[in-house]
Structure 1
Amino acid sequence: MAVFSVIKLSELEGAKRIDAEYYDPEYLEVKQKLLKKKFVYFKNLVKEIIHPKEIKREYEEEKQDYLFLLAQNVRPLMFDLSEKKFISEEKAKLMPKNLLEKGDILFVRSGNVGDLTVYTGEPKKIIASSDLLIAKPTFKFSYYLGVFLTTNYGQKILIRGIYSGLQPHIAPSYIKTIPIPILPEEIIRRTEILYLKAQNLLKQSESLYSQAESLLLEELGLKDFKPRYKKTYTAKLSDTFSAYRIDAEYFQPVYEEILSTVSKKHRIEFLKKIFDFRRGIFISTDYYTEEKTSRPYIRIKELTGKTGIDESKIIYIKDNYPIDEANSLQENDIVIAIIGDTIGKTNRIYKELSGGFCSNNTGRLRIKKELNKEIIPEYAEILFQSVIIQSQIEKKKTQTGQPKISDKEIKSILIPILPLSTQQQIASLVQKSHETRKKAKELLEIAKKAIEIAIEKNEKEALDYISKSEEK
Structure 2
Amino acid sequence: MESEFYNSDTVSYQNTINASQIIDFSQYGTSKELNEIGKGYPVLRLNEFNYSFISHPDKYCSLLDMDTYRSLQLRKDDVLICRTNGNPKFVGRSAIVPKDYDYAFASYLFRIRPNRKYINSATLVAFLNSKYGRLEIEKYSMVGNQANFSPAKFREISIPVFSKGLNDEIEDITYRAFHKLEMSESLYSEAANEMLDCLNLNDFTASSNPCNVKTLKESFIETGRLDAEYYQLKYDDILHHIQVYKNGSKDLGEICEIKDANFTPQKNVSYKYVELANIGKYGNIIGCSQQKGEFLPSRARRIISKNDVIISSLEGSLDSCALVEEDYDGALCSTGFYVLKSNVLNPETLLVMFKSPLIKDLMKKGCSGTILTAIGRQELECIPIPLIQQEIQEEIAKHVQNSIALRKESLQLLEDAKLTVEEAIQNGGVK
Q: CA deviation at 1:407?
A: 1.6
Aligned to 2:74: 100
Aligned to 1:172: 151
Q: How many angstroms apart in 1 are the aligned matches of 2:21 and 2:263?
A: 46
Q: How many angstroms apart in 2 are the aligned matches of 1:346 and 1:189?
A: 37
2:33 counterpart SS class? coil
User: CA contact under 8 A between 1:52 and 1:132: conserved in structure 2?
Assistant: yes
Aligned to 2:133: 154
User: CA contact under 8 A between 2:29 and 2:104: conserved in structure 1?
Assistant: no
Aligned to 2:422: 452
User: CA contact under 8 A between 2:73 and 2:103: conserved in structure 1?
Assistant: yes
Question: Which aligned pairs between 1:80-91 and structure 2 lie closer than 5 A?
Answer: 80-81=55-56, 84-85=58-59, 91=65
User: CA contact under 8 A between 2:24 and 2:114: conserved in structure 1?
Assistant: yes
Q: Which of 169, 178, 181 lines up with 1:199 in the alignment? A: 178
2:380 counterpart SS class? helix
Q: How many angstroms apart in 2 are the aligned matches of 1:453 and 1:352?
A: 26
1:159 counterpart SS class? helix
Aligned to 2:224: 244
1:117 paired to 2:95: yes
Matched letter for residue 82 of structure 2: V
1:50 counterpart SS class? strand
Q: Equivalent pairs: percent with the same residue?
A: 22
Matched letter for residue 304 of structure 2: L
1:276 paired to 2:257: yes
1:95 counterpart SS class? helix
Q: How many angstroms apart in 2 are the aligned matches of 1:186 and 1:281?
A: 53
Over 3 Å counting, the alpha-carbon distance change for 1:337 and 1:116 in structure 2 is: same
After superposition, the C-alpha distances for 1:54-90 in whole angstroms (9 at most, x for unaligned) are 332267537x8x6432221124312133x54456898
After superposition, the C-alpha distances for 1:391-410 in whole angstroms (9 at most, x for unaligned) are 11111111311222212112
User: CA contact under 8 A between 2:267 and 2:292: conserved in structure 1?
Assistant: no
User: CA contact under 8 A between 1:205 and 1:433: conserved in structure 2?
Assistant: yes
Over 3 Å counting, the alpha-carbon distance change for 1:318 and 1:86 in structure 2 is: closer
Aligned-pair Cα RMSD in Å: 2.9
1:213 paired to 2:183: no
User: CA contact under 8 A between 1:305 and 1:385: conserved in structure 2?
Assistant: no
Aligned to 1:465: none
Aligned to 2:348: 378
Aligned to 1:300: 276
What are structure 2's unaligned runs of at least 5 residues?
none
Matched letter for residue 73 of structure 2: L
Aligned to 1:254: 234
Aligned to 2:383: 413
Q: TM-score w.r.t. structure 2 length? A: 0.88
After superposition, the C-alpha distances for 1:284-303 in whole angstroms (9 at most, x for unaligned) are 796686xxxxx422122212
2:351 counterpart SS class? helix
User: CA contact under 8 A between 1:222 and 1:262: conserved in structure 2?
Assistant: no
Aligned to 2:47: 72
What are structure 1's unaligned runs of at least 5 residues?
1-14, 290-294, 463-472
Q: CA deviation at 1:193?
A: 0.7
Q: How many angstroms apart in 2 are the aligned matches of 1:92 and 1:317?
A: 50
User: CA contact under 8 A between 1:281 and 1:359: conserved in structure 2?
Assistant: no
Aligned to 1:387: 357
User: CA contact under 8 A between 1:344 and 1:393: conserved in structure 2?
Assistant: no
After superposition, the C-alpha distances for 1:25-55 in whole angstroms (9 at most, x for unaligned) are 4xx332xx1x432111221101232112333
Matched letter for residue 57 of structure 1: L
Q: Which of 26, 29, 37 lines up with 1:52 in the alignment? A: 29
After superposition, the C-alpha distances for 1:176-220 in whole angstroms (9 at most, x for unaligned) are 112111122222211111001001111111111112111211211
Aligned to 2:9: 29
Over 3 Å counting, the alpha-carbon distance change for 1:172 and 1:421 in structure 2 is: same
User: CA contact under 8 A between 1:296 and 1:357: conserved in structure 2?
Assistant: yes
Q: Which of 349, 352, 374 lines up with 2:327 in the alignment? A: 352
User: CA contact under 8 A between 2:32 and 2:61: conserved in structure 1?
Assistant: no
